[in-house]
Amino acid sequence: MDTNISPTLASPQVAAQDQLALKQVWENIQPDSCPCSYNFHMHTRCSDGQLKPEALIEQAISIGLQGLAITDHHSVAGYYAAQNFLKQRQQSLPSLSIPHLWTGVEITSHLVGTDVHILGYAFDPMHPSLQTYLHNQPNPFKIPQAAHVITAIQQAGGLAVLAHPARYRRSPEKLIPAAADLGIDGVETYYAYGNPKPWQPSPKQTQKVKQLSATYKLFNTCGTDTHGLNLLWRV
């Protein structure tokens, strides 16, 4: 079931940081919510993606997305460009149905002895707690602990999510409980591990992650992890 969201681009900061609205969406996320209703994991040229932020937004509008977040690595530049473009489109075409754009980022960190990616959403991108992580590229010599990243996102008013928990050197059974102990808010439950076309969440991994998210009372999220030119798949 999809949640009806009214974008509030007249107050872009409010829309970007609307944590309550995001929680309501996540509470109703289903396996088929992504990629045509919601997408919370996409990259632009501002990190390692191929799409310009403006082109990403054009596709999102064309697809009919209700809500999305750009999660470039250690950068919110793509978010700002997309936000400005959405404002221009709304002003030029007031009747156009536009998606709700939340702030987003993907931050490399250490958890249970391995590198993982923490996704942040609905945070204040200007908050001091996040500035050390928003430097466009992860520093391989100074990868922070997941506990610090989760705390920084939450201090900035945001929600923290463990990205694609079945892609790491440690199993979801080890990573998700550890992340939950650190106070993480959710896990990326619906994810296509084999890059299928058309995009669909991987059944085996989804079942495992969803069971763990229920055990630890975490939100379930979804995303294509798009790095290429089409938002309907990963590459």
pTM: 0.92
Enumerate domains of the chain plus CATH numbers: 12-222 (3.20.20.140)
SS3 state of residue 119? strand
Q: Categorise residue 81: left if φ over 0, alpha if ψ from -120 to 50, beta otherwise.
A: alpha
pLDDT of 92 reads 84
- Give the integer Cα–Cα distance in Å for 156 and 88: 27
DSSP state of 188: E
Residues sharing a CB contact under 8 Å with residue 58, sequence separation 6 or more, in sequence order: none
Distance CA 10, CA 116 (A): 36
**CA-CA distances (angstroms) from residue 199 to 72, 101, 161, 219, 222?**
20, 22, 21, 21, 11
Structure tokens at 189: 């439950």
Residue ranges in the chain whose pLDDT is less than 70: 1-15, 136-140
Angle between helices 146-155 and 172-181 (to 10 degrees): 50
Tell me whether residue 160 is exposed, middle or buried, using C-beta atoms within 10 angstroms of its C-beta: 0 to 12, 13 to 18, 19 or more.
Answer: buried
Residue 114's pLDDT is what? 97
Q: What does the pLDDT read at residue 7?
A: 41
- DSSP readout, 78-116? HHHHHHHHHHHHHHH-TT----EEE-EEEEEEEETTEEE
- Please choose, from the candidates 158, 79, 82, 83, the residue with its C-alpha nearest in 3D space to the C-alpha of residue 118: 158
Query: Beta 114-121 vs 104-111: how paired, if at all?
Result: antiparallel
CA separation for the pair 203, 154 (Å, rounded): 30
